[in-house]
Amino acid sequence: MFTRIIQVLLKELIELRRDKWAHFRLLIPPIIQILVFGYAATFEVFGVSTVMLDLDHTQESRDLISRFTYSGRFEVVRIAHDLREIDNAIDRSDATVAIVVHPGFANLLRKGQTAPVQVIVDGTNSNTALIALGYVNQIAATFSQDYASDLLQRTRAGPTARVVQVTLEQRPWYNPDLNSRWFFVPGVIATLLLVITVNLSSFAIVREREVGTLEQIMVTPIRPIEFILGKTVPFFLIGVGEVVLVTAVGTLWFGVPFVGNPLVLLLGTSLFLLSTLALGLLISTLCSTQQQAFATNFFVLNPFFILSGFAFPIASMPVALQWFTYANPLRYYLVIIRATFLKGVGLAVLWPDLLALSALGVGILAVSVLRFRKSLD
């Protein structure tokens, strides 16, 4: 049995080595993808284009505006002179945020009344708008605090005039600078692995079927399970190789930390590959041509990709779609890979995800082996 598996394995490796395109396909797209994702996929908000209108022209208003300028979160693209200019800038998308200080701002402050600051936000990209509004509120809160305690010092008021305040101390763990790259790089590794291995395994078997060599192989003494193992073991090795390659780019080039245990990741990767390779096999039993396999892969992989938590939080999806994510191997692998990269947790925490992955893998494999046997009859 063992020698027969080795024979198929060797045949597959030789085929892969002679396929000049395969080298290219397996090396270049993953690297391009990790680079594009690393640089382009960001939800961070820096240097929001901002237009300022100061109608008060006082020390206080200038102080407030300079706080926006020096925060690094806002980039003043224009100083407006009237409200019309503000409307135009937002309409034409020249600026995302407009800050208007109305006349009488400093007067109100000095009188101890609340001085309003008008902020107009282009909400088109709600995410950027929400985060930018968060920064606006933070700046306003510190301005308020500073002004109040300043006033207190100047007037030396008694305890009755004290300012009482509660503040929030922010402590982000695992990704202290809230860097999008740290979130996306491990995710890209997972999605790449899904796409590459499902494609490889489904195409490899469908190709034999299409060309007609599958029948030739089946008249040899080889058993279906030996054939499947011989076919998929090379892809398993390729999958692990891809993880190492992309992890190297992610950690060395982008500086994403890897604080966990590589062995835990290897275990998770192996279980994930079990699911993806079995899925490829399942698809191959449903298709008779490579073109069909291509279309089927797309229809299957796309939902897996979107409903995985790769970029969009599962908790914000409708409940029906959330249920679907439980049948998605990528969901569990994303948890495992992000946890090993950023959190550094081990089996004690990750066992439920590993267990779910094994169950899915065994389930898909069982169905696909049964179907594969049938498709030979």
| Contacts to another protein from residues 143-202, by CB under 8 A | 143-144, 147-148, 151, 159-180, 182-183
Q: Please enumerate, as own/partner, the contacts of 61-67 that have beta carbons within 8 Å and a separation of 24 or more.
A: 61/101, 61/105, 61/106, 63/143, 64/101, 64/117, 64/143, 65/99, 65/101, 67/139, 67/142, 67/143
* Minimum gap (Å) between residue 165 Cβ and another protein: 5
**Minimum CB distance to another protein, residue 50 (Å):** 12
- Contact (Cβ atoms closer than 8 angstroms) between residue 196 and residue 280: no
Query: CA distances (Å), 107 to each of 57, 103, 145, in order?
Result: 11, 9, 18
| Cross-strand partners of 299 | none
CB closer to another protein out of 176 and 212: 176
Q: Which residue's CB is nearer to another protein, number 2 or number 173?
A: 173
CB atoms within 10 A of CB 310: 20
Q: How far is the CB of 137 from another protein (least distance, A)?
A: 6
Interface with another protein, residue 212, by CB under 8 A: no
* Shortest reach from residue 17's CB to another protein, in Å: 21
What the block records as the tokens of 95 is 């600026």
CB of 19 to another protein, least distance (A): 14
CB of 182 to another protein, least distance (A): 7
77 binds another protein (CB under 8 A): no
Asked if residue 257 lies in contact with residue 343, where contact means CB atoms within 8 angstroms, the answer is no
C-alpha separations of 294 from 206, 280, 283 in Å: 10, 11, 10
Q: Which of residues 228-267 bind another protein (CB under 8 A)?
A: none
Taking CB under 8 A as the binding criterion, the range among 8-16, 231-239, 261-269, 296-304 that sits at the site for another protein is 296-304
Contact 141, 64 (CB under 8 A): no
For residue 291, count other CB atoms closer than 10 A to its CB. 11
Nearest distance, CB of residue 20 and another protein, angstroms: 14
Among 69, 127, 216, 220, binds another protein (CB under 8 A): 127
Question: What does the alpha-carbon distance between residue 46 and residue 124 come to, in Å, rounded to a whole number?
Answer: 17
The residues with which 52 forms a beta bridge, in sequence order, are 79, 99
Part in contact with another protein (CB under 8 A); list of ranges 214-222, 259-267, 334-342, 357-365: 334-342
51 binds another protein per the rule CB under 8 A: no
Residue whose CB is less far from another protein, 230 or 268: 268
| Residues in 303-332 that interact with another protein by CB under 8 A | 303, 306-307, 311-313, 315-318, 321
